[in-house]
Amino acid sequence: GLRLGDCVNGTCLPRPPRVVRVQRGISSNIFVDNKAYREFLNSKFNATAIDMETAAVALVCHQQNMPFIAFRSLSDLAGGGSALSNEAASFATLAAQNAVDVLLRFISLLSS
């Protein structure tokens, strides 16, 4: 029942955002804005989401033998969206706010 934001500065997403559990997320050391490379990562590693930061958190948690959970919000389709060259520039703030909203909702469910 959580309603996520879907517009920023008058630009709206083509469909409402939703919360999903990513089956296999991977981290890249580059910003992936290339449809062919995204499709390669999906076919080679079965990756369903790509980010640039979560692997660093995972490594430190692994070294410290500490479980972790990552809440991420995707801001673009890695070259598979509209004709815009970089949708992340348009939707990064919206994605960040949606991630915070989901995290706060998750925390509230833990305490109930």
Domain ranges of the chain: 7-111
SS (HEC) of 46-82 = CCCEEECCHHHHHHHHHHCCCCCCCCCCCCCCCCCCC
Mean pLDDT of the chain: 83
pLDDT at 78 over 70: no
What residue type is 33 in one-letter code?
D
Mean pLDDT across 79-83: 55
